[in-house]
Structure 1
Amino acid sequence: MEQLLVRTKAGGEQIEASPLEHATVDIEPGVSLHYVVAGSGPRTVVLLHGFPQTWWAWRHTMPQLVAAGFRVVAPDYRGAGHSSKPLSGYDKRTMASDIHRLLHEHLQLAEPVALVGHDFGLMVAYAYTQSYRDDVTHLVAVDAPLPGTAIFDQLRANPRNWQFSFHNVRDLPEFLVSGKEREYLQWFFNFRMSNPAAITDADFQAYLTAYTMPGAMRAAFELYRAFDQDTKDNRGFIAANGKLAIPVLTAVGETSPTAPLVRGMIEEVASATTVLAVAGAGHWIAEENPHAFAAGLIEFLGQDQ
């Protein structure tokens, strides 16, 4: 059984290594999800990564959650890591259904979970929370955009966010990026990073290996190509259900230029929101300042219990 590395807190206290259990399950014909489980606490926290990452983005967060008494599930969502890369199903409502089936049909969870989503993972987590409102206790949005909000429409139309349009083009991004995945992915990490030491060469290699697998970059671009459907679905959720009433935490890096916009997007869809500003972090919060992020996350998850 794999062990996560021991992490040292700022005050010198050590967090014990957390045994990890890896597994892959069939969600539907032709689609399987790889996931990692750690801990055995009575409450479950589900961690959903973004692009261009995998479950490995939570390597520092998982042992701290386990030490605080939580069970943690970190999947590779559809199209990423060691999960299947089908041709379709990248709208976030379908991806949320994947996670729901993983948790309830395969892991046999009976109690509601707390959802933590970074980047695209937040889009999936939000669709999950709106689709299965009785199955979620807390939602954590980690520096992430959200289709269906007015602010997202502004972001998508801004030429500075060129990747929204470029990745939406059919076939061309795959052709141009092929063979240049290292340079392309490195740009994405560097562009919004405050702490360059946060993602080591070995960490980056793990991500690069994942995204040079057959179909991986195509699957990543399909996440963007589903934005129109995501927008339609999320606006439908609000029209039918209204804003989320559960506690919602918005974690933003203090150096992230989009932090105010992220806060505004979450306020459009949730009533009870709290902001966690993480010092020394840009977009990759759980990796750039893992201890401050985990401390704020654990404090938030202890609320209303």
Structure 2
Amino acid sequence: MLLLHGFGEFWWSWRHQLTALTEAGFRAVAVDLRGYGDTDKPPRGYDGWTLAGDTNGLIRALGHTRATLIGHSDGGLVCWATATLHPRVVDRIIVIASPHPRALRRRVLRDKTQRARFLPLFLRNQIPRFGERQITRDDAAFVSDYFAERSSASWRAQPDYAHTVELNRSAMLIPNVAHCSLEYRRWAFRSQFRPDGARFMELMDQRLHLPVLALRGRDDPYILDHAMADSHRWAAHQMYRQVEDSGHFVHQEQPAAVTEYVLEFLRHEPEPTADGPRRPARKVRRGRSAVYSPVRFAARIRRSRSAPDGR
């Protein structure tokens, strides 16, 4: 099982799930995404194509041909992209506060509430150097505000919350992390006006036939219910659950509940059509296939004990 963190986080955000999945007999690996933590900080490669290629390469580098992917926020986007572009290496995916990219775009365009929650910060991040300065000034105080605005009051009252924010502020101050973390969002926006983005969204317009678990904190003010629920249009076997008393960081706010949902989902055998034909959600123009070269993940990889199935 490969665990992929979200914006403003690093591998440590999966601390609770790593322990629980290990105890349940799975091999779980949490990594820093490209540009975060101890990884390389290349100037390019924060597009959906390359990130999916990174994940495909990492699964094989860890000695497996298939894996289950779990992703939060931006890490969830990587899950959706890898499952679509490299279906043969993915058993199933679990996405947390991360709608299918087409579902999110659809809701941002049609739902004024989702648009108001999502777009302001997303657009501010597009301004070169301004976003980096905003994130890193005052010892990355932005991270404190980011977590406070999107998490539940019950978690903010716990010692774990203060410790989490402190560590994530330190991680954001690693040289070039702020810039790299924003490049994910800059590509997501700017590519909408370029051929590469149009082609990516066309290829993402396919209905996955592998199992999908979608989780959302019921009080998440950033990613709203309809955006997550709409993802079923691109996932034939989606299970969608909302977790009480939690916001955007549900896997850290309510780790026991998330672990229970994840283990329940993993106990069910994947659908036999996981590698079968996938029909488009609507008719799209097919582009030519692409080949990806995985970059080196000079990451802090935290591995649990091995399990033969590679999950």
Alpha-carbon shift at residue 254 of structure 1 (Å): 1.8
Asked if the contact 2:98/2:228 (under 8 Å) is kept, the reply is: no
Structure with the largest fraction of helix: 2
Aligned residues: 257
Answering whether residue 182 of structure 2 is matched by residue 226 of structure 1, we say no
1:227 is displaced (CA, Å) by 0.5
The answer to whether structure 1 residue 295 and structure 2 residue 276 are counterparts is no
* DSSP 3-state at the match of 1:116: strand
Q: CA deviation at 1:261?
A: 2.7
Matched, 1:237 2:203: yes
Larger strand proportion of the pair: 1
User: Which of residues 72, 76, 92 is equivalent to 1:122?
Assistant: 76
For 2:97, the equivalent position in structure 1 comes to 143
Q: 1:204 is paired with a residue of what secondary structure?
A: helix
Q: What RMSD over aligned residues (CA atoms) do the two structures have, in Å?
A: 2.1
The 1:181–1:90 alpha-carbon spacing in structure 2 relative to 1, beyond 3 Å, is farther
Identity among equivalent positions (%) equals 26
- The match for 1:193 among 151, 174, 180 is 151
CA distance in 2, matches of 1:154, 1:199: 37
Aligned counterpart, 2:287: none
Q: State the Cα distance separating 1:160 from its structure 2 match.
A: 3.8
Say which SS state the counterpart of residue 180 (structure 1) adopts: helix
**Distance in 1 separating the partners of 2:211 and 2:147:** 30
2:3 maps to which of 47, 61, 85: 47
| Partner residue, 1:90 | 46
**Corresponding letter in the other structure for 2:132:** E
CA contact (8 A) 1:167 1:225 kept: yes
User: Which consecutive residues of structure 1, in runs of 5 or more, have no partner in the other structure?
Assistant: 1-44
TM-score, normalization: structure 2?
0.77
Aligned to 1:75: 31
Give the counterpart of 2:137 among 179, 189, 192: 179
Q: Which runs of 5+ in 2 are unaligned?
A: 271-311
Give the SS at the match of 2:30.
strand
State the Cα distance separating 1:199 from its structure 2 match. Answer: 4.0
Aligned residues of 1:151 and 1:264 also touching (Cα < 8 A): no
Partner of 2:301: none
Task: Judge conservation of contact 1:199–1:287 (CA < 8 Å) in 2.
Answer: no
How do 1:141-290 and structure 2 match up within 5 A? 141-149=95-103, 150-154=106-110, 158-161=115-118, 162-194=120-152, 195-196=155-156, 197=158, 199-228=160-189, 229=191, 232-239=198-205, 242-257=206-221, 258-290=223-255
> Which secondary structure state, in structure 1, belongs to the residue aligned with residue 137 of structure 2?
coil
1:152 CA displacement: 4.3
Please report the TM-score for the alignment, with normalisation by the length of structure 1.
0.78
Paired residues of 2:72 and 2:97 also in contact (CA < 8 A): yes
> Residue 226 of structure 1: CA displacement?
0.8
Q: CA deviation at 1:155?
A: 6.9
Offset from partner CA, 1:62-112 (integer Å, 9 cap, x none): 1111111110011101011221221111112211211211220x21213x2
Mean CA deviation greater in 171-180 or 88-97: 171-180
Report the residue type matching 1:183 in the other structure: A
Per-residue deviation, residues 129-152 of structure 1 (Å, max 9, x unmatched): 111112111111101244333124
